Amino acid sequence: MRDRPRRPFGEGILSDDEPVEVEAPAMKLLPCRPGVCQECAVDHPPEAPHNAQSLYYQYKFYGANGRWPTWADAVAHCDERTQGFWKAELVKLGAWTEPRPEEVAGNPRLTGDFARVQTTFDQARADYDRRNQTPE
């Protein structure tokens, strides 16, 4: 028998009258399968947008940036023409999303982000080109 009320999830007990918050355990994202985009786990050419609805992409992005990704993030590595096309089509569907300014400004995890994204993109393109070379 329990003579005291249960505590809600997320609270632990140091003593009978002193609740403490319990942190959730850290999560580890397993690598995606070979041969697919290593950012979103979807099979697409490097110049195509990531799948912003991929759970793999969402959790990987969140782990790197401290916020959830948007469609603007998913197309950020694409050329302007591709970005414009995807934005126009997603706006028509009411699905286009962009980060709020407060999510980007002042976030120390985003410092130098463009260079990191460009390097990742260049590496992904080189990997894709190597995988798709035809033997001579």
C-beta separation of 16 from 49 below 8 A? no
User: Euclidean distance between the first and final Cα of the chain, in Å?
Assistant: 76
Residue 111, judged by CB atoms within 10 A of its CB (0-12, 13-18, 19+), counts as exposed
Q: Provide the whole-model pTM.
A: 0.59
Tens of pLDDT, residue by residue, the chain (136 residues): 455 555 454 444 444 555 545 455 567 888 899 999 999 999 999 999 999 999 999 999 988 888 899 999 999 999 999 999 999 999 999 999 998 877 776 554 444 444 455 556 667 777 777 887 766 6
C-beta separation of 76 from 118 below 8 A? no
Domain definitions of the chain by residue range: 29-131
Angstrom distance (rounded) from CA 47 to CA 57:
16
